Amino acid sequence: MDMKYESDVIKKGNGEKISIMFPPLLRQTIIMSVVLLFAVLIISIVYQIYGPSILQRLDDNVGENLMKFARALEQNKNIEDAKRIYETATRSRFAGEFNRTYVFYRLGYLCWADQEFERSVEYLTQAVQSENHPQINAYEFLVDSLLRLGRQMEALPFVEQWLQKIQKREDLANAHYYLGRIYDLSKDPSKAEEAWNKGHKILPGSKASFELAFYYKKQGNCKKAVYYAEAVLKAGLLPTREPAIKKLISQCNSEK
């Protein structure tokens, strides 16, 4: 094809030829492109040499990455996939011990929520069995799972461990509630009463108070039953259990 070149700036001799072949814009573009290309190639070569060590380091905390991925799935209510990824994470390497036990805790909790108590016990036991980073929150679900499986004697040492590690008042009351339940299921009502009483004293109106209300009602001591029932209503900590408490109070009142 016949091409005609027009130039805004006309120069003479070789300079003109170069300017026609490579106008300034093109020259600048090509030079800068070469600079950037070299930059990328140099970085690529360095990455090829040192990259494997970095990837190895990343691989060492693959457990953490899987944990984050599973947490995102959990937040999106994709529980099945979250459980699957957590499970893979339990077999992976972790850089931090806390994260490893956290994965066991979440997996155990999800199994507990799905009423898979055998599995939940398996994972939650791992979550609390760590010298420096046991998951304190896991104790409640672990003990609850064991109670639901009818393995109350196995639950007792865990409650004792839990009581030693608790820092919050609410958790302490909760632990005493579970302690009471263990004794209750082991047919030791006096110890159960004692534990629930402690729970009530620590946090009036908590689950321990609720249990005491029903315990005394069963004993035929309506006065005490109403006392603890009213404590539950007053505290308002157990809104889902209030209908049962109100029923108990009305029954006791009608008995009078």
Partner 1 sequence: MGRRNREQNIKTEIVNDTISSILRKMAIYVVIPLWLLAVVLSLSPFTGDPAAPIKYLIISVFVMMISAITLAMVWLGNFQLQFKKSLVFILSGSLLFMSLSTVFAKNKGFAISELSIWLMLFAIALYVPILVIDKKEMQWVLSWVMIAIALSSVYGFFQRWGIDPFPWSTKNVEEYRGLPSSYANPNFAGHALIFAVITGIGLILTSLKEVRNLQYDIRSKSFILALIKLLFFTVCFVLTFTHLYLTKMRSARIALVVAIAFFIFYLWIGKKWTIKSVLTVGSVLVFWAIVGIIMIVVLLAKGYPEGSLPMDNSLNLRLNGYMGAVQMIKDRPLLGFGPGNYRFENIPYWTRYEKLWFTLAKKRNFHVHSDPLEAMTDTGIPGGLFYFGLILLGFIGGLSFVKKHKLFHEQVLGISMASVFLAFATDACFGFNMRVPVSSALFFLYLGLSQAHVEDLTLTGKKTKGLLVIAFLISVLLVIQQSRYYYADVQLQKARGGMYWAQVFANQQKLNSRELALERALQSAESGIQIKYFDPRFFEITARIYMTRNEFEKAIENFDKALYYDSYNPELWTSRAQCYLNWVYRAQIERKPLTQSIETILDEAEKSLHNAIKYCDLYPDSYEGMARTFFFRTAYIKLPEEKKQELMKEVIRYGEKAFETGLQNSQSLLQILIQAHLAIKDYDGCAKVVQRALSIEPGNIDLWSRYAQIMKQKGYPDEYLSFLEKNYAKFKKDAKTMAPTLSQLALMIHQEILRNTKDTRKASEIILETLKLNPNDLSTWGTVVQTVPREQRLANIRKLKDYFKDTPDIPDFVQKMAKEEDQIDWLEISREIIKNIEQDEKQNIPYKTIVLRYVWIAEVAYDENTQRESADKADLYANLATIYQKLRFDDRALSCFPFASKATNKTTQMKVMYTWAEILYKKRKYAEAEEKLQQALQIDPNNVQSRALLVQTLIQLKKIPEAKFEYQSLKQTLPANSNTLKSLEQLMMPYLKNP
x-or-dash string of contact with partner 1, 146-185, rule CB under 8 A = ---xx-----------------------------------
| Identified binder of partner 1 from the candidate list 16, 17, 18, 35, rule CB under 8 A | 35
Closest-CA residue to 182 (of 158, 137, 147): 147
Tell me the closest approach of the beta carbon of residue 125 to partner 1, in angstroms: 15
* Residue 187, CB-side half-sphere exposure with 13 Å CA sphere: 0
Cα–Cα distance for residue pair 104/90, rounded to 1 Å? 7
Q: Which of 180, 189, 243 is nearest to 221 (CA)?
A: 189
Size of the site for partner 1 (CB under 8 A): 62
Give CA 251 to chain center in angstroms: 41
Confirm or reject binding of residue 40 to partner 1 (CB under 8 A). yes
Residue with tokens 């639950």: 155
Q: Which of residues 74-103 bind partner 1 (CB under 8 A)?
A: 76, 78, 84-85, 87-88, 91, 95-96
Find the binder of partner 1 among 11, 17, 42, 113 (CB under 8 A). Answer: 42
Long-range CB contacts (< 8 A, 24+ apart) of 111-116?
A: 111/83, 112/141, 112/144, 112/145, 113/79, 114/79
* Sole window of 3-11, 167-175, 237-245, 247-255 interacting with partner 1 (rule: CB under 8 A): 3-11
50 binds partner 1 (CB under 8 A): yes
Please give the full DSSP string across 198-229, using - where no structure is assigned. HHHHHSTTSHHHHHHHHHHHHHT-HHHHHHHH
Q: Binding of partner 1 at residue 58 (CB under 8 A)?
A: yes
Stretch that binds partner 1, among 46-54, 178-186, 215-223, 232-240 (CB under 8 A): 46-54
Question: Contact residues for partner 1 (CB under 8 A)?
Answer: 1-8, 20, 23-26, 28-37, 39-44, 46-48, 50-55, 57-62, 64-66, 68-69, 76, 78, 84-85, 87-88, 91, 95-96, 118-119, 149-150
